[in-house]
Structure 1
Amino acid sequence: MSRPLLRKSAASLLDQVALSGLNFVIGLILIRWVSKADYGLYTTLFAAGILATTFLDALIGTSVTTLSARLPAHERLGYAARALRLHLLASLGLGLLFALSAIALLAEAHLPTPELLSTSAAFGAYVVTLGAREFCRTAHFIDGQPGNVLQIDAVFVLATLLAGLALAQLGAPSLAEVLTTLAAANLLASARPVWRLVQLRLQARADLPPNPPAPLRQGSSAALLRQLWPLSRWALPGALIGWLCNYSYLYFAGALLGLTASADLNAARILLIPIGLMGVAWSRVARPMAGQLIAQQEWSGLSRLARQSLLGIEGVTWLYVLLLGLAFPWLASHLLGDKYRNVEPLLWLWGVYFSINAARTIGTTWLAAFGAFKPLFWLSLGSFGVLCAALAWLMPRHGAAGAIMALILIEALELIVSWAWLLPRARKAMQAAGDPR
């Protein structure tokens, strides 16, 4: 990788290692202390939390990132600060919606009414505060400051660990207590950066030039949403369908094979969380950089960045998977426990999935940097249709392994279409339009 990308990716990777380690610890605690059915329920709610952040990022974060690449470097964080109020309002609305949805989900699991209500309320609070922290992270990635992101998440991880230790003194934590702890840690971690973004918004309003460019014009949240909507209207459905492609297997597994199958799938996947988060760390740093290269039509630089990224990510992925495979007997004995000894074959399938996912992620990140959200939507829609058919056919025949096989098929399909068709078309369209962006 290039030196600037490598340096920024290192800070972002360290950030993701901290988050990965925290998720790993939480997952292991639940794996060891709760039943498979309860852990399956947690994984379902956790995936729903990812859906909330996916929605918010597609509606606001992705479009803000794409449009800010057109601005001078010193104006990008101020532009992101303009979207803060819109993002917080959307987070509050989603928190309420997801809390109500959790009531229906938990009722199906036959939880007692007090536990059902407390868990649903805690989940809603988690969604709201997670949205706030994720937007602060997005704003600092736009500003090219992954070190600031690391500071935000360091506070989150430290607060969660300290609260978790306090809970451990009281015995095995309930799901409501875990979600409340995460919500409180999110709130603590995002308080200071949110206040800084508020100050930047006020300063940007005071310093606005007489005739500012369109991305900098002040207005209401509704006006800003109208400005973002030409990109968001395709990014949003595409991202939501992308989430379905990535996480609907949990719901299929729960419906077709039971919550224990969801638990097995996630117990194997949790061991590879560092690989998935490494890809996230790379994309959060690389997407603004790719957007700037595309705006300048530096195609050779973009190709070089893609090659370096692919070699780096794939090398780390396969090294990690091989080491994990060698260490699995020890992990099964000391971490997962006897009830998850059967997940080793799933571990290797997840390794294949993440290796293809790494190459596919580079392609879709480049397409997002081009602003090609409409073709990404149609790609995701087609992929989801194929996934549903693959899950329905493979899972009854191969059980939990069939779910991962279906996901591998979809990743391979999107990899080929992105690199062989969509990216060349996006580049030709920009060259033909002569748009320097």
Structure 2
Amino acid sequence: MKRNVILSVIDQGGLSAFNFSVNVILIRVLTPENYGLYSLLFALGLTATSIQNALINTPLSVRWSRSNYIEKIKLESSLSLVNTFFLIIVFILSLLLSSYLSEDNTLTVAIALYITSVPAREFIKSRFFSKVLVQQVINLDVIFVLLSALLIFLSYFLYGTVNLISALMSIAVAGYTSAFYGKASLKMKVDGQIRTNDLLKEYVTIWQESRWSLVGVVTTELQNRGYIFIVSLFFGNATLALLQAGRVIYGPLNLLTAAWGKVSTPYLSGLFFNSQLRAFQKYLLIAGSGFILFNLIFGIILYTAWPYLEPLIYGGKYSDIAIVVFLWAVVTVLIQVRSTGSVGVQAMNCFKPLAFATIYGSLVSGIVLLSVCLINQPIWAIFSLLSGEMIALFYIVIVIKKYINEQSDEKLIKGENS
């Protein structure tokens, strides 16, 4: 297990370094308005993936470890079908949105392809993660990173610069290529003999749980990325670019948390449902403490190197970037600790309580964000995330304690009866 976690973190570290490099390049070469648009599209891709996680990827991870071979075939076949419908819907909605954002037909297509490529690749990775085939995930991500870098370099070599369209198309083509490679590498193929109606019936049982996960995802997105759309709408893409430019530095840290969660969800689910409660709690505690320590070390390094990093990354384009970077440092720690707890609750199959945690968090976050708009101080929009994460984390801790106590009581009763 430790080896898989380490490999997953290394993989996400490389992927994070690539995303960070792309963002730094785009910050330097694009206008603040165009970089703000790219930040908006990047957020939309992540939002699509979060919804996919609720409907498809998380049910796959949670159910896989406790399913037999036949059940696994039905599960994977059903979720593959649902994912196909999901990608079609994402592409259509992306086309409609991109036609609203731009009158350039080429940019419209590039936006739709880019947004859809994110969940297309993520589903294949999720299938590998559920089977604990971390090396295959690494292979897929290496193809994605190398091909993206090659296409971006070719764009620069041919045209002397990298514009928004070439960046989006390069990443999209690399995403689809790696996804097709991953699908071809999967050893367990979906069962084509099972009728579509039977697969949809199979998903109905999954939906009873994933609907609450979907509610949680929607409210989490409102809490974590709602400010992106509000700031863009009320203050413009240039102001959004300032906020997102400050967050870029911490992007790799959040991706590392996501990598840990993908590997740990099936493992934690097995611990909880086998009543290994002490190991379950210890694993979560070590992970949360590790993320806090890692952020502290990262913050010290960032503070020390800031006089050299600021001109290198931002080139003097954003005057208030230092305070924005500091605020994101605090928010990032809270997001990672809350995410650790969320993974624990998902592993316990308690999606409804998790949904309420994010509902309460998003309500508080929305109130703070509304206040920011009223006082016309867009930089303080970051406080909407800070407040929402604190509320959600508090509720999640209560949920974990409650369900561990209930599981412990059940174990004690079974022991007495036997």
Provide TM-score, normalisation by structure 1: 0.88
The C-alpha deviation readout for 1:189-242, integer Å capped at 9, x for no partner, is 011221344852249x79xxxxxxxxxx99644223213111111111211221
Counterpart selection for 2:37 from 36, 41, 48: 41
Residue matched to 2:276 = 298
Matched, 1:187 2:176: yes
> Which residue of 2 is the match for residue 88 of structure 1?
84
* AA matched with 1:367: V
Give the secondary structure class of the aligned counterpart of 1:83: helix
Superposed, which structure 2 residues align to 1:117-156 within 5 Å? 117-156=105-144
Q: Write the mapping of 1:50-129 to structure 2, written as runs, cut at 5 A.
A: 50-71=46-67, 79-80=75-76, 82-104=78-100, 106=101, 111=102, 113=103, 115=104, 117-129=105-117
In the alignment, which of 222, 225, 229 is matched to residue 244 of structure 1?
Answer: 222
Shift of 1:400: 3.7
Distance 2:236 2:304 in 1: 30
Partner of 1:210: none
Decide which of 304, 307, 311 is 1:326's aligned counterpart.
Answer: 304
What is the alpha-carbon distance in structure 2 between the residues aligned to residue 218 and residue 11 of structure 1?
36
Alignment-mate amino acid for residue 187 of structure 1 = Y
Structure 1, unpaired ranges of 5+ = 207-216
Deviation at 1:265, TM superposition (A): 0.8
**2 CA distance for matches of 1:33 and 1:432?**
60
Contact 1:28 1:335 in 2 (8 A): yes
Report if the CA contact (8 A) 1:64-1:228 is conserved: no
Q: How much identity, in percent, do the aligned residues show?
A: 24
Alpha-carbon separation, structure 1, partners of 2:374 and 2:15: 34
Structure 1 distance, partners of 2:69, 2:281, is: 23
Determine helix, strand or coil for the equivalent of 2:41.
helix
Deviation of 1:288 (Å): 1.1
CA distance in 1, matches of 2:109, 2:123: 22
Between 352-361 and 427-436, the greater mean CA deviation after superposition: 427-436
The 3 A distance-change label for structure 1 pair 55 and 281 is same
| Aligned residue in 2 for 1:163 | 151
1:284 partnered with 2:262: yes
Deviation (angstroms), 1:412: 1.1
Q: Is the 8 A contact 2:361 2:390 kept in 1?
A: no
Tell me how far 1:432 sits from its aligned partner.
6.0
Give the whole-Å Cα distance in 1 for the aligned partners of 2:250 and 2:81.
Answer: 35
What displacement does 1:89 show? 2.4
Match of 2:23 among 21, 27, 30: 27
For residue 11 of structure 1, the aligned residue among 7, 10, 18 is 7
Which runs of 5 or more residues in structure 2 are unaligned? none
Matched, 1:370 2:348: yes
Q: Note closer, same or farther for the CA distance 1:77–1:331 as it changes in structure 2 (3 Å cut).
A: farther
Partner SS state of residue 86, structure 2: helix
| Secondary structure at the counterpart of residue 339 of structure 1 | coil
Corresponding residue of 2:337: 359
1:397 deviates by: 4.5
CA distance, structure 1, for counterparts of residue 336 and residue 69 of structure 2: 28
Residue of structure 2 equivalent to 1:213: none
User: Conserved in 2, the CA contact under 8 Å of 1:55 and 1:236?
Assistant: yes
Code of the residue aligned with 2:149 in structure 1: it is: L
